[in-house]
Chains A and B, each alone.
Chain A
């Protein structure tokens, strides 16, 4: 083709022309500064304002958090009262509070000496999430890994494999009722299991809402709009206090499970709307091409429509995921002991009461680590999945 140019034919380039390097004043740190910080007069003002605020605010914050704090007891066996004295005398933060109460924050009321169980459960849960983020592990086995991890960590924390009405005891492990579970494993577990179940459920709801079948559509729309019409706290209250009233006497439905179901039902409605947004963003031609090839409804959804719809809704999905993760703090309203409640319980100890700043900063940091990693991962995923659709 490239050699076959004739004088009368259209000109078609035979090879790509290599890009030239940019001019010297468009690269380098000074060009970067000019472009990003001093491009217009109002950007100059904003930049200067931020530099000034940072100059005024950062040094005191840094000395409070890092230079002047009491990191912990001076000697391992220093009594708590003396540590608090030291905190009172110091100008900085009292991180000793975290050292004193971390057990309560991380594990709630879980029995002393058994902490390795929630730790192991958390490692398993975070581990399977991390593995799921890696493209090369994306296969059918991953679903089973999730099931295994969820059942495994619940059994480990419980001390038995719960099978509805019977429990199979695990030898060597004491039984720990779910009311004693708390802290970080509860936060991670509730949001992880919640998302794992709510996501497929949400996809089904979204497909139902977009379906041509009136029954599926009406049911999905009713469900989604009903759930979206009430706040999560209402759903939690209903599942915890109202729902048991309707059960026949003698029936007992685990409180944690009820909370979990409430979170699933609630998140599914929101995830469904996010996925629906993705479905609507797809050009009609994609549906028609899949139809014209003779793909069945489920094949079409699974192979053509959902991969694309989910891809375009990744930012919004992660937004929802982060929302679900943080919403789990609401479970304190139905007397569950999440990580925030653990910190509050630490503050209830009279001598440590004044150090609420440290408690909340610490909990905020933990949430930040999780939410920030989710958000970064979504950015990576967006870029990665865009390879196919991006033009050179």
Chain B
């Protein structure tokens, strides 16, 4: 391959989706998605509910299977090969709307589990890394509590730290603040902004337009399974091109 040449010539492409289609039975949920994400890029995906934005990022680590087209993540094509899928999942972290922490494990165990079992990191080292990231998300004192004892905002920060402990190349956020009480949204967004500034590649499905303005390199608007429009945040919010984008933005920015 000409990987070295390519890397020297152009910025490294971490995610390449070409002609991706997906159906849920009869329902065509993703239509001809073409998307390339460079290393270090921050992409925010927005759109009305049912537009396929969550499905899109869930295809990137094979929580959902696409039926047509190709997806290449970190140089590995996603196929039915379990080895490829596991290799990609090691490099792609995900933060869910519902946090999905493991309730039977303490915060610290939640963070060290995957590094120990998947990356084969020694326990002590994994715990040090975990404490480092817990400090980064500002809750090191909760290390020995169980998720059920934390507030929603704290749980989501633990979930972010859990993904970070795997030292992923790409971080996917699936509506990370949608299940939170209003006063907790900020603490989670603050952590995400900080992360973004450090140069990790990030794809974030969210309706937090303030966040998009602050950190995104690119905002993507999806509707009915298609990428309708994408642009730099400044342009995207000031001069939306399609009618659907305008309508969506007027609704979402109204309050």
Contact = CB atoms under 8 A, between A and B. Distances in A.
Contact of A388 (B61, B86, B94, B103): B103
Nearest to A387: B146
Contacts of B19: none
A140 interface: no
Contact of B117 (A295, A308, A392): A295
A373 B102 CA distance: 31
A389 B146 contact: yes
A389 B102 contact: no
A293 B166 CA distance: 8
Interface string B97-113: 01111111110000001
A95 to B, nearest CB: 48
A288 B104 contact: no
B104 A307 contact: yes
A307 to B, nearest CB: 5
A292 B89 contact: yes
B199 interface: no
B98 A285 contact: yes
A299 B117 contact: yes
Contacts of B106: 388
Given A286-B102, A389-B146, A392-B149, A295 B63 contact: no
A286 B162 contact: no
B148 interface: yes
Contacts of B218: none
Given A288-B63, A303-B113, A293 B162 contact: yes
Contacts of A286: 100, 102
B247 interface: no
A391 B89 contact: no
A247 interface: no
A21 interface: no
Most A CB contacts (10 A, CB to CB) among B61, B102, B146 go to B102
A296 B86 contact: yes
Contacts of A307: 104
Nearest to A385: B104
Contacts of B113: 293, 295, 303-304
Contact of A292 (B92, B103, B146, B183): B92
A308 B103 contact: yes
A12 interface: yes
**Chain B residues touching A, range:** 20 to 34
A307 B89 CA distance: 23
Contacts of B93: 292-293
Contacts, number: 81
A46 to B, nearest CB: 37
Contacts of B182: 10
Contacts of A294: 86, 89-90, 114, 118, 166
Interface string B45-63: 0000000000000000111
A289 interface: yes
B248 interface: no
A225 interface: no
A390 B86 CA distance: 33
A308 B94 contact: no
Interface string A295-316: 1100100011001100100000
A388 B146 contact: yes
A289 B96 contact: yes
B101 A289 contact: yes
A291 interface: yes
Interface string A350-392: 0000000000000000000000000000000000010111111
A293 B89 contact: yes
A283 B106 CA distance: 18
| Residue of A294, A299, A308, A387 most packed against chain B (CB within 10 A) | A294
A388 B105 CA distance: 7
Interface string A267-283: 00000000000000001
Nearest to B181: A10
Interface string A151-172: 0000000000000000000000
A373 to B, nearest CB: 25
A222 to B, nearest CB: 26
Nearest to B159: A289
B47 to A, nearest CB: 21
A113 B131 CA distance: 64
B149 A289 contact: no
15 contacts: A12-B183, A288-B100, A290-B102, A293-B166, A294-B86, A294-B90, A294-B114, A294-B166, A296-B86, A307-B104, A308-B102, A308-B103, A387-B146, A388-B104, A389-B146
Given A295-B118, A303-B117, 15 more contacts: A10-B182, A12-B183, A283-B100, A288-B100, A291-B61, A292-B163, A293-B89, A293-B118, A293-B162, A303-B113, A308-B104, A311-B104, A388-B104, A388-B148, A389-B146
Interface of B: 61-63, 86, 89-90, 92-94, 96, 98-106, 113-114, 117-118, 146-149, 162-163, 166, 182-183
Interface of A: 10, 12, 283, 285-286, 288-296, 299, 303-304, 307-308, 311, 385, 387-392
